[in-house]
Amino acid sequence: MRPLHELGAVEAAQAIAAGRITSEALVRACLERIAEREPSVQAWAALDHDVALAAARARDRASPSGPLHGVPIAAKDIMDTAALPTAYGSPIYAGHRPVRDAACLALAQSAGAVLLGKTVTTEFATVFPGATRHPLDPARTAGGSSSGSAAAVADGMVPLATGTQTAGSGIRPAAYCGIVGYKPTFGFIPRAGTWM
């Protein structure tokens, strides 16, 4: 088997379900990759290793809870999270702690996902870019407002990440970084707790 941080979301979910790997081992591999590559890519707005590892261990002890059971995910920093700060990419919200998770993240976690951390976004998902660089060439941009999510997935830091399509800001960074970006039908996924 190749390095755990290189597994895609489906492969990771299947390996966890089959007992070939644990969620904790996968989360640790992702955190090690982040530690190695974050100084160059700058994809992350907030990480808490202890929270992520505790959630992974809880998934390993529990019965499977859905198709994402034990799979680490990243959340774009315009999505509210109770366990991590949500700054919406803006210094005026630095340290802001919402009381609950955005609906889309609550759904992902009810499907078994482990929230690894928050990814960089443009300020309020609009025009002022974050620090994220392209994982293959730090002199280039990773795209629009979901740049942190796209770069984190493309660089093998996490197998799955959320983004938003404010103005091409989900599919553009995915295309720039060479990964799949999926834009569901408007209204299909609840937006409560997401800055838009």
Record the pTM. 0.95
For residue 137, the model assigns a pLDDT of 94
Alpha helix positions (H), 18-163: 23-41, 49-61, 103-110, 147-154
Residue 196 has pLDDT above 80, yes or no: no
The stretch 71-80 carries a mean pLDDT of 98
**Residue 53 Cα to chain centre, angstroms:** 15
For residue 130, the model assigns a pLDDT of 87
Query: Which residues are identified as catalytic?
Result: 76, 145, 169
Residue 150 in contact with residue 64, Cβ under 8 Å?
no
pLDDT band at 161 (very low <50, low <70, confident <90, very high): very high
Q: What kind and span of H or E run contains 103?
A: helix 103-110
The proportion of the chain whose per-residue pLDDT surpasses 70, expressed as a percent, equals 98
For residue 83, the model assigns a pLDDT of 95
Residue 167 has pLDDT above 70, yes or no: yes
What does R_g of the chain's alpha carbons equal in angstroms? 15
pLDDT band at 1 (very low <50, low <70, confident <90, very high): low
Which tokens sit at 81? Answer: 């999270």
Tell which wins on pLDDT, 165 or 121: 121
The proportion of the chain whose per-residue pLDDT surpasses 90, expressed as a percent, equals 84
pLDDT band at 90 (very low <50, low <70, confident <90, very high): very high
Q: What are phi and psi of 29, to 5 degrees?
A: -65, -40
Which tokens sit at 34? Answer: 């982040």
For residue 128, the model assigns a pLDDT of 83
CA-to-CA distance for 86 and 75, rounded, in angstroms? 10
Q: What single-letter amino acid sits at 160? A: L
